Structure 1
Amino acid sequence: MPQFFLNKRLIILLVSIIILVALIGFSLRDREQLTWPERFVKDSTGWVQSIVSRPTHFVAGFFENVKDLRITYNENKELKKRLDKLASLEAQVHLLDKENKELRDILDKKETLRDYDPIQATVIGRNPDHWHEMIIINKGKVDGIKENMPVITAKGLIGKVKSISQFTSTIQLLSTMDPKYRISSIIQADKEVFGLVEGYDDQKDLLLIKTIPYNAKIKKGQNVITSGLGGVFPEGLVIGKVVDVVPDQYGLNLTAYVKPGANFYDIENVIVINRTMVQPDVSEMIDDEEEEL
């Protein structure tokens, strides 16, 4: 008797498996229309899902909107603080500028290392093989462009005029690998620190400022500007911000890694700087054929 029930169960199991396989094969074959049980199950499932999903999406969207409102509120609060600080800084700059002009009038001092005349220009060409080193602008000799004139964008210094023709000029960027390309700079620390922009780390997209005294107190985030003492670049042009400071390979000086203020990759409009103060003869400031600007 037990053997009979065992065989019966086995037969039922085998029949069930055969029916299941047949149903699976039937459902997988290509058909133009579903059977009414399939349509019923599908419609019922879709209806239940729509009922459940609507309130779920509503609740999720509500909490997401609340989160967005909180983020917007915090951002608005922070922006208001910055606007208040910016207004205060603008007022201070205005007062300092007024005082500076008055003092210069009293001392009868008309020129400074910061004085220059801007020449607007547009980038018209870029060599793919020297994308990070050279650009071509639409101004040349007829527009008063001369070799070694500094070139900036709205965000900072990008390079200098390398060569000129009658109607165009080639600009050598700060991201060039030319070892003779040097710029006299100042790190605006508690006490100004002088150094030379010498080289570019193309892996980190950072400028290198070398020959910094080992005991100099430099911090991350401090501004770097041109010193005006190299004979070509006027004083005060933005170079970038310090992101790291390390000892040089001999341990005698420091090297600062600086994030450029300008974007060397995407350049459209530039300003060529025509320095108004009399420039010293560069050959008198360097030895051999080293170039320091």
Structure 2
Amino acid sequence: MYANSYQSLPSDAGIIFLGNAGSGKSFLCNCIIGHEQFEHDFRTTAVTTVTEYHEVNIPEKFNLRIYNISGSVEANQKRVEENKRQIMKAFEECPNSIVIFVWTQNGGRVNPNDVVAFNALNAAYAFPAESLAFVVNDLPPHRNSRRNYDGEFLATLKVLLEPMKVSVKDIIFIDHIEPGHEMKLTDARTKLLDLISKHYILPQTRCADIILELEQLQKDLCDIKNKQMQAEQDKEKFKRYAEQLQNELADSLSKQIKAEQEKIKAEKDKEKAEQDKKKADQEKEKAEAERRKAE
């Protein structure tokens, strides 16, 4: 069941993907939609440079606009200003939404540019916690050989975003997926839909300007890197915290898988019940026809 009931959704409801260039927003949008609607590729420059959306019907009969928006932090201030305009345009067109911020990793660690971008956007819109979700995208599948990687990433993210609260239900981790790998694409779509189902579509109101000035960005990046280093200085404490979060993430994933299995079972049971009823009705009609014939 989705956090919003279908009847309560406004006509301009949607899901707005935010994140820096190259984070894979277009890929994630396509994943939800179920086909290649938005262009995506691996490039040194942004693939998406204007606001674009596609209306889609997802489980529970939700008709939503899926917004794919250009990145935030770039080396050119002119591009940054255009990105800001495109972001504001999306929220003006779709003020009632779930916001999904897409995170990337840099050498296995939280990308400081993403923290800068998120902080600037959150300062401008004060995203309601119930409508805000995170996706850590395009992770190397072999990271599983490094114990507690996801827990470490989340632990660092929670520290960097303090005092904001980040729960395990608010974040998912998606591996890098090669084109044509349908099983992994299906798994990623299931994760995304489950993430969406746990959040509310709420009004997103701009309460301040989006401050993304290149000079200030450099200062913010230094502050974030220092904060990240300080968080990791007490290695034993950080390790214990990461392990705790890793266990919580594993438990959350286990519950999701169990719920999906129960849903599939319920659908199969319902289908079987309908088939049994149809068969019983046919046998009843046959018996009735034979009785009338005998008379």
Q: TM-score range by the shorter chain?
A: under 0.3
Using CA pairs under 8 Å that are at least 6 residues apart, name the structure with larger relative contact order, 1 or 2.
2
TM-score by length of 2: 0.23
TM-score, normalisation: structure 1: 0.23
Q: Point out the structure with max Rg over C-alpha.
A: 1
Report the structure, 1 or 2, having the larger strand content: 1
